[in-house]
């Protein structure tokens, strides 16, 4: 479904929303800082030698950029779907449809950016696990395993990631579970 709604001054583009979500994820830092954070968390999770952070953060930066690309295309579809859903309920409420579209795309953008963070973190942990498994020599290893792997709760995801992934209802539709439970609100 293509978004054919006219571009309004207040309505952010999908590209702007994706950029905003990635900046929110970096919490005022840079992409390189975010890559370093993910690399550090992967090293901590695998208990690998901390020297791995240097080369791993460069790889993480590339994978992070690759997986974040295309986010705006998903958001275009999300905006169009939210707008259409709102207009099915309230056909004359064009301003409300624009607001619903912007909010739905913003929420989906934050959720998708958080999923990219988790996906890249899991990729980095898997990479280190594979490298550690290959490294069977008793001599000094840069990937030396120092102990047992910490539980996932010990890794400590940033609050912005956790909040974005919590199962909250779409803005404007609290309590709606399925199509059969829909009831139109009464006019004021």
* CA separation for the pair 81, 87 (Å, rounded): 10
Task: Calculate the alpha carbon distances from 170 to 8, 57, 81, 91, 150 in Å.
Answer: 22, 34, 12, 19, 34
For residues 96-110, one letter each, b for 16 or more C-beta atoms within 10 angstroms of the residue's C-beta and e for the rest, the string is ebbbbbbebbbbbbb
What pLDDT sits at residue 10? 65
The count of other CB atoms within 10 Å of the CB of residue 121 is 21
Per-residue pLDDT at 59 exceeds 90: yes
Per-domain residue ranges for the chain? Answer: 14-173
Global model pTM greater than 0.85: no
Average pLDDT, the chain: 77
Q: How far is C-alpha 38 from the chain's CA centre?
A: 13
Q: What are phi and psi of 9, to 5 degrees?
A: -60, -40
């Amino acid at each position: 479904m293509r978004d054919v709604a006219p571009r309004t001054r207040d309505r952010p583009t999908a590209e702007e929303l994706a950029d905003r979500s990635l900046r929110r994820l970096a919490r005022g830092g840079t992409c390189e800082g975010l890559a370093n954070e993910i690399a550090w968390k992967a090293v901590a999770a695998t208990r690998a030698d901390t020297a791995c952070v240097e080369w791993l953060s460069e790889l993480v930066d590339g994978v992070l950029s690759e997986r974040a690309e295309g986010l705006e295309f998903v958001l275009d579809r999300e905006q169009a779907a939210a707008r259409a859903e709102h207009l099915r309920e309230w056909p004359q409420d064009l301003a409300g449809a624009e607001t619903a579209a912007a909010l739905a795309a913003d929420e989906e953008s934050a959720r998708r950016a958080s999923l990219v963070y988790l996906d890249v973190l899991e990729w980095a942990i898997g990479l280190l696990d594979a490298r550690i498994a290959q490294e069977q020599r008793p001599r000094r290893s840069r990937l030396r395993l120092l102990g047992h792997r910490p539980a996932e709760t010990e890794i400590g995801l940033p609050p912005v990631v956790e909040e974005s992934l919590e199962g909250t209802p779409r803005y404007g539709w609290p309590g709606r579970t399925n199509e059969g439970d829909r009831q139109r609100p009464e006019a004021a």
